[in-house]
Chains A and B, each alone.
Chain A
């Protein structure tokens, strides 16, 4: 099936640092979604992107829809302990808008 590759797989950072992660696909996407999953919970939608080149912020989070439409990026500025979790990218399966495919996730851990 379709695959979304996320990197890095995991990262340890210190509180206050900025974080960058990305998501790539071999197929073109018309929508990119970014989710965060807190430990023991279901994923929650952070940001949705609908246009190539689009840059959207949600507080300290900023996501970008890549120009090639095959990638997307998520940045977190000035990380805090509650940023801990798994970050997933997602997009609609090719040829259908009725379901999403998810990336393998980036696990973020923050040290004080």
Chain B
């Protein structure tokens, strides 16, 4: 009953460092998403992949890249981390968004 698994759970980066956030789902969902959550801002979409082999920008894509490695895995990369990217990052997957997403438990990232 894993659902959506995100790694790591916590990370501290120095400004300018790079890292990749990993996400995997075991529900055979077609669509996968990356959101960031900041206090008072709700959940904002960074990138999404409506199906294997496709990726599209969301509301706040600047400073990020994504890779849909296969149907199960969707990674988010920060090439040169900035303090403004300090946030909680959530990965989600869905068979059809109108039926709702299943979220992972999040990655808490601090950039100093």
> Interface residues, chain A, CB within 8 Å of chain B?
1, 4, 9, 30-31, 33, 35, 40-45, 48, 50, 88, 92, 97-105
B98–A50 touching, CB < 8 Å: yes
Chain B 30-52, CB within 8 Å of chain A: the 1/0 string? 01010100001111110010100
A99 touches B58 (CB 8 A): yes
Task: Provide the residues of chain A in CB contact with B45, threshold 8 Å.
Answer: 99, 101
Q: How far is the CA of A43 from the CA of B50 in the complex (A)?
A: 20
* B100 interface residue per 8 A CB criterion: yes
Majority secondary structure of chain A interface residues (helix, strand, loop or mixed): loop
A104 to B37, CA, bound (A): 10
Complex interface: chain A residues within 8 A of B99 (CB): 48
User: Would you call B106 and A31 a contact (CB within 8 A)?
Assistant: no
B100 touches A41 (CB 8 A): no
Provided the pairs A48-B100, A100-B97 are in contact, do residues A41 and B106 lie with their beta carbons within 8 angstroms? Answer: yes
Q: Assuming the A-B contacts A41-B105, A42-B103, are A102 and B98 also in contact, with contact meaning beta carbons closer than 8 angstroms in the complex? A: no
